[in-house]
């Protein structure tokens, strides 16, 4: 298989195929021994754990108008970053999957930071950022829950 590397770190592409097949799959994300694999469009991306020093959940609240009421759909995303640069935002299947991914990443990357870069420490709980989708009345917010 062919993988696209998101960082400049060297990786042995011959080793990536068996790791990809053996990795735990959660939605479009695969958690392997040496890094993360994810699909976006027709490409498969690889990011080694050594290239990631920050990871957190971003929950995007998408406003919806239904036949008799309105509400928000919460879309769970995993954001992986290096220093101040976000490498990828990966959509996850739901809240339970996001919690499981965060648990696995904390085991694989014990030295990484699991909060958003500009998070206020008193507003952070379990590395989750809540954002409102564009088009909502209040715009985009960076509230932490």
Q: Where are the domains of the chain?
A: 4-132
What is the average per-residue pLDDT within 12-31? 90
pTM, 2 dp: 0.75
| pLDDT tens, position by position, 27-45 | 999 999 999 999 998 999 9
| Distance of alpha carbon 90 from alpha carbon 44, whole angstroms | 12
Give me the percent of the chain exceeding a pLDDT of 70: 79
- What is the model's pLDDT at position 144? 39
| Distance of alpha carbon 116 from alpha carbon 88, whole angstroms | 13
Residue 140 sits at φ, ψ, to 5 deg, of -105, 135
Average pLDDT of the residues of the chain: 82
Give the contacts of 138 (CB within 8 A, at least 6 positions apart): 132
CB 74 within 8 A of CB 59: yes
CATH of domain 4-132: 2.30.29
**Kind and range of the H or E run holding 64:** strand 54-65
How many alpha carbons fall within 13 Å on the CB side of residue 16? 19
| pLDDT tens, position by position, 81-112 | 998 889 999 999 999 999 999 999 999 999 99
Confidence grade of residue 141 (pLDDT, cut at 50, 70, 90): very low
Q: Of 59, 58, 36, which is closest to residue 47 (Cα–Cα)?
A: 36
| Distance of alpha carbon 79 from alpha carbon 39, whole angstroms | 14
Helices (H) and strands (E) in the chain, counts: 2, 9
Q: Is the pLDDT of residue 138 over 80?
A: no
């Amino acid at each position: 298989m062919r993988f696209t590397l998101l960082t400049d770190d060297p990786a042995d592409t011959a080793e990536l195929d068996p790791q990809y097949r053996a990795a735990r799959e959660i939605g479009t994300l695969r958690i392997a021994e040496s890094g993360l694999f994810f699909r976006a469009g027709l490409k498969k991306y690889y990011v080694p754990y050594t290239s990631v020093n920050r990871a957190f959940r971003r929950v995007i609240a998408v406003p919806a108008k239904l036949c008799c009421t309105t509400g928000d759909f919460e879309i769970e995303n995993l954001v992986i970053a290096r220093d101040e640069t976000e490498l990828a935002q990966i959509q996850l299947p739901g809240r339970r999957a996001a919690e499981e991914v965060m648990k696995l990443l904390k085991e694989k990357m014990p030295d990484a930071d699991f909060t958003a870069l500009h998070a206020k420490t008193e507003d952070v709980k379990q590395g989750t950022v809540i954002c409102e989708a564009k088009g909502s009345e209040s715009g985009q917010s960076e509230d932490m829950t």
